[in-house]
Chain A
Amino acid sequence: MEQVIGIEAQKYPRLLKEIGNEAPKKLYYKGNWEEFFPAKAGSRSAAGENCLAVVGSRHLTSYGRKITEQLVTEIAAAGITIVSGFMYGGDEAAHKATVRMGGRTIAVMPCGIDIIHPEYQKELYNEILEKNGLIISEYEGKFLPVNWTYVQRNRIVAGLSKAILVVEAGLNSGSLITAKYAKKYGRKIFAVPGQITSEVSKGTIKLIKEGAEPVSEANDILKFFKVLVNPVKRAPSSQNSQNFVSSGLTKSGSLEQKIIEQLKREPMEADLIARTLGVSVAKIGTALSLMQLKGFINQESGKYYIN
């Protein structure tokens, strides 16, 4: 049986229909449609009613990835459905964070429903379906993705959602196109501020200048959805049996403490820490390895972060 929903169907997403003649005539899908869009129209409790589109650059920085994970985890935990486009980078980070925490997610594909694109994200694709997510596309069968289908896909991402969160976006990026559609359809736009020197913050800064709401915590978005939750403090990953660890644990003024002070301001690579603190890189390396093993800090793409 082909799984397809026509625009006239009761089960057709209400919000998407509102975008008028831009709404896709048909939606092919995989997964449990009723979970998201039950036949009884306007059921406010259905998962498909409270959608947040989360989009970000394909070339997400480690900052962007971290923020996406953090925000999406909290938002999805509050029961908001995360919609995105299954591209690598920002989309993938959003889907991944949602399924990891057990939330609901909808992936809108730029290609025929029977194709996984990009194919190497097959694992994530299956994970979405396993965890009660929904995969949809307006294209049938094995229709291959082309330049314009990505743009068309973005209008569905925007159309399905009440609000859109742009994590990182360059100028002339797909994420900004999604934001443009969202604006056109009258959706709320949230943007994550970043460093003004970063290429992938230029788009989000532009959005903020144009009136998008800057986001600094999940509650900024949850307020809009009228769900208020206590800020979830992520419990630091449990560390058991710390015998070699406990010995040199962060006395004030110790090298470890100094490193943490530095990393609190911004993530740094070992060279910069050594240079700033004026300590030999050998000693810094030793401290960083130990702190990493203790779980205080983490390394991602060369830089160290506080956990």
Chain B
Amino acid sequence: MLIKVPSVVNLGLETIKVDVEVNLANRGLPGFEIVGLPDKAVDESKERVRAAISSSGIDFPAKKITINLAPADIPKEGSLYDLPIAVGILSSVLGFPIPKNSLFLGELSFDGSLRHTKGALLMALFAKEFRFENLFVPKDSANEAGAIKGVKVFPVENLIQLSSHFLKRKSIEPVSGQKILDALPAPAEFDMREVLGQEQAKRAMEIAAAGGHNIIMVGSPGSGKTMLARALPGILPPLNETESLEVTKIYSAAGNIPPGGSLITNRQFRAPHHTASLVGLVGGGARPHPGEISLAHRGVLFLDEFNEFPHSVMEAMRQPLEDGYLTISRSKQRVMYPADFMLVASANPCPCGYLNHPKKICICSPLQIKKYQKRVSGPILDRIDLHIAIQPVDTTEFSDNQKNSELLESSKAIKQRVVLARQKQEKRFENDSIQSNAQMKNTHIKNYCKLEKDIEELLYRASIKFQLSARSYMKTIKVARTIADLEGAEEIAISHMAEALQYKPKIYEL
């Protein structure tokens, strides 16, 4: 007896249909075999399925069972085939037909219940595109799949419940009118008003958030770099619908959506440590997996102690910083992961950390400092729009008013401006393939950043005086555009350009 249960395989962010063919043969010794390039997790599904069916009070058929995952030449991985395999066997034992136009995905527990399984969203997208009407997924993954409108998602709790549904005893209600719950809220650890002083750095953060600019902070230990970065999520604009789907896809593929979560609507903040491996950061592996930079897609990648990251990591980030995606090529497959993130880096100015510190003396020689600063490769620095120097703050020198954080601007107030500036950008780039000012290429700059003659002259003089490279020149214009957007101005004015010059690359003189 041959039963076909449709499911999918996710290769990176791509989804391909897989037929789980279940054959129960009456001849031959009883046994259980899976073919079709299963990996270890798929192969172990035999034990889970056997136990789950038994604990559901159903006799496991003493037949020679062979499962084929077709197409047979694509490697399958993960635990998602537990459900289709079990459904195939149950359909034979209990004698119900497999509903048409349905897809199955889910990991089984020994007790017959279903566990949250990664990739539900990708399957739902696939279902929508290829007109599969019904999706049977674990209850915990139903919200995730249900985020896609136009497909019926059945939340399955356990095998008994599913069997009664198919035997038409008690049907499962499909998830509908899904209220979008934020899967991963990104609570900022600090409110901007908690950061005392650092006015210029805060302003730079606002500009970075508004235009999606990369930013680097250089300052002594304890000057508040990390705190500023951690406060950043609180002023980031929310993801729009398309962005939200893009991000959720990556998280779904990586299995990073928590049980019960649906769409991710907040910009994610990823802060990998500098000892993280290259593959962990940029993605890869024998079966390519998204790395931290992809998980930071449309969000923030915070690299603390930037100089400490290995050279290989920094070099690997160059392509994604430029293109907004990363291609991982393996001999058998090629996977493209989007990685359009905002880079927030922080670094010490010198090995001891106290260069230019108001109280402490730096004990590094100029040569050491040069070597240390050279560890950040030029091409990477060249892709960073905002450079700020952070000085430690002595709050004892503050007046009571200045110390009173209630009087400072809150993240919420800053966020409002940021959101408005982003809306302006979205409107501006309606017919372009970009979303923010930071992504502008030279043609966009020509179109959207018309400079009056005197502004152009100001920039020209500045480029001579401050020795700006051609790329820095363009970056300054982009930053000025964002500053103008924050102010709600249509055209870039002299004041915008002058302020943008504050965030130019700094040369740390001794």
A235 at the interface (CB under 8 A from B): no
Bound-state CA distance A59–B363 (Å) is 7
Contacts of B509 in A (CB 8 A): 62, 300-301
B495 at the interface (CB under 8 A from A): yes
Chain A residues in the interface with B (C-beta under 8 A): 58-60, 62, 88-89, 118, 120, 170, 197, 199-200, 243-244, 269-271, 274-275, 280-283, 285-290, 292-293, 300-302
Bound-state CA distance A283–B483 (Å) is 12
The answer on a CB contact under 8 Å between B502 and A285 is: yes
Minimum distance in angstroms from B34 CB to a CB of chain A: 63
Bound-state CA distance A274–B499 (Å) is 14
The answer on a CB contact under 8 Å between A120 and B367 is: yes
- Among B356, B367, B402, B502, contact of A288 (Cβ-Cβ < 8 Å): B502
- Among A89, A170, A200, A271, contact of B198 (Cβ-Cβ < 8 Å): A271
B465 at the interface (CB under 8 A from A): yes
Contacts of B164 in A (CB 8 A): none
Bound-state CA distance A302–B391 (Å) is 8
The answer on a CB contact under 8 Å between B361 and A282 is: no
Minimum distance in angstroms from B172 CB to a CB of chain A: 57
The answer on a CB contact under 8 Å between B199 and A244 is: no
B146 at the interface (CB under 8 A from A): no
Other A-B contacts than A88-B366, A270-B199, 7 sampled, CB-CB below 8 A, are A120-B370, A243-B454, A271-B197, A271-B198, A280-B199, A290-B498, A293-B501
The answer on a CB contact under 8 Å between A58 and B199 is: no
Contacts of B199 in A (CB 8 A): 270-271, 274-275, 280-281
B428 at the interface (CB under 8 A from A): no
By DSSP majority rule, is chain B's interface helix, strand, loop, or mixed? helix
The answer on a CB contact under 8 Å between B391 and A244 is: no
**What bracket does the count of chain B residues touching chain A fall in?**
35 or more
B33 at the interface (CB under 8 A from A): no
The answer on a CB contact under 8 Å between B391 and A269 is: yes
Known: A170-B361, A244-B457, A282-B499. A271 touches B366 (CB 8 A): no
Name 21 interchain pairs, CB-CB below 8 A, sorted by A. Answer: A88-B365, A89-B510, A118-B366, A120-B370, A199-B359, A199-B360, A244-B458, A270-B199, A270-B200, A281-B200, A282-B483, A282-B499, A286-B496, A286-B502, A289-B501, A290-B458, A290-B494, A290-B498, A292-B465, A301-B508, A302-B356
Instruction: Kindly report which residue of chain A lies nearest to residue B218, judged by CB atoms.
Output: A302
B362 at the interface (CB under 8 A from A): yes
Contacts of B495 in A (CB 8 A): 283, 286
The answer on a CB contact under 8 Å between B502 and A289 is: yes
Contacts of A89 in B (CB 8 A): 510
Minimum distance in angstroms from B453 CB to a CB of chain A: 9
B461 at the interface (CB under 8 A from A): yes
B203 at the interface (CB under 8 A from A): yes
Known: A120-B366, A243-B454, A271-B197. A285 touches B203 (CB 8 A): yes
Contacts of A302 in B (CB 8 A): 356, 389, 391
Contacts of B316 in A (CB 8 A): none
Contacts of B355 in A (CB 8 A): 301
Known: A118-B365, A289-B499. A88 touches B200 (CB 8 A): no
- Among A199, A275, A285, A300, contact of B499 (Cβ-Cβ < 8 Å): A285
Bound-state CA distance A289–B504 (Å) is 11
- Among B393, B462, B483, B510, contact of A88 (Cβ-Cβ < 8 Å): B510
Bound-state CA distance A300–B356 (Å) is 10
Contacts of A293 in B (CB 8 A): 458, 461-462, 465, 498, 501
Q: Which 10 pairs across A and B sit closest by C-beta, in order of nearness? A: A281-B199, A289-B498, A285-B502, A289-B501, A286-B498, A301-B356, A286-B499, A285-B499, A286-B495, A199-B361
Contact string against A for B residues 384-420, beta-carbon threshold 8 Å, 1 for contact and 0 otherwise: 0000010101000010001000000000000000000
Minimum distance in angstroms from A120 CB to a CB of chain B: 6
Contacts of B360 in A (CB 8 A): 199
Contacts of A274 in B (CB 8 A): 199-200
Bound-state CA distance A283–B494 (Å) is 12
Contacts of B483 in A (CB 8 A): 282
- Among A59, A197, A243, A290, contact of B361 (Cβ-Cβ < 8 Å): A59
Known: A286-B499, A301-B356. A271 touches B200 (CB 8 A): yes
Bound-state CA distance A270–B483 (Å) is 18
Most A Cβ at <10 Å: residue of B199, B365, B398, B494? B199
Minimum distance in angstroms from B472 CB to a CB of chain A: 14
Contacts of A301 in B (CB 8 A): 355-356, 508-509
Bound-state CA distance A243–B393 (Å) is 38
Contacts of B370 in A (CB 8 A): 120
